[in-house]
Amino acid sequence: MSNLNIYHYTPKFNLSKILKEGVIKRSHGFSEWEKPAVWLSCESFFENSAFFLHKQNNMLVKRKEREVNSLGKARIKINPSQIRTFTFHQYKNISRISTRNFKTIQQFAEECGSDPNIWRVCFSDIEKQSWEKIEIYNEKKLLWEDYEYLNNYLNKPDLFDYLKEIKPLIDHMDSNQKNRLSKQLQKIENKL
């Protein structure tokens, strides 16, 4: 298992929330008695189901291709030695998902061109200490690129902790210092 590359694929708009919280949170199933899980994949090029499928009002909905292309694609590579994962078939037994809902997921996976046999699930949130790198899909070059700006912060103290320390000092800054701080924060926000 340790030789496998495991990724959490997500639309780019979800990435900033994940990075801000420093954790990939479990998503809920179709019903309240199902165990929430983080969905992962061993697919090293592109996991279609992460972009084409989404849950709306407890129903699986397939996005149109043009909508998927507008979302942007991101992924976080996970260190498999730091989390416990289960296969899709193990998920069926552990999660308490109904047979009907399990078959629905399989059917949607097939429609999206995904292979559930390479999916993995983790039944606990995945903290950033277990992340190896962050990548964004470059649509023009058709390849995954390191998201360097954020990769630099993975193993350093949290940027948001630094910003909290600065907050009490803002009242004592002159207008030039406040303006410089505002510009730097805008640059950070644009990169997220």
Of residues 157 and 98, more confidence is placed in: 98
Structural domain boundaries in the chain: 6-149, 157-191
Percent share of the chain, pLDDT over 70: 72
Of residues 160 and 48, more confidence is placed in: 48
For the chain, the average pLDDT equals 82
Contact 145, 135 (CB under 8 A): yes
Residue 159 has pLDDT above 70, yes or no: no
Per residue in 51-66, pLDDT tens? 666 566 666 666 766 6
Q: Which two tokens stand for residue 174?
A: 């002159």
Dihedral of alpha carbons 45, 56, 18, 183, sign: positive
Single-letter amino acid, residue 112 = C
Nearest to 38 by CA among 59, 24, 17, 52: 24
Per residue in 25-49, pLDDT tens? 998 877 788 999 999 999 998 887 7
Q: What is the pLDDT of residue 29?
A: 79
Single-letter amino acid, residue 85 = T
Residue 141 has pLDDT above 50, yes or no: yes
Of residues 63 and 11, more confidence is placed in: 11
CA-based radius of gyration for the chain: 19
Contact 108, 49 (CB under 8 A): yes
Q: Which two tokens stand for residue 45?
A: 């090029």
Per residue in 94-123, pLDDT tens? 999 999 989 988 988 888 888 999 999 999
Q: Which two tokens stand for residue 67?
A: 């909508």
Contact 32, 76 (CB under 8 A): no
Nearest to 8 by CA among 28, 37, 31: 37
What are the Cα distances from residue 53, in Å, to 48, 50, 64?
8, 6, 10
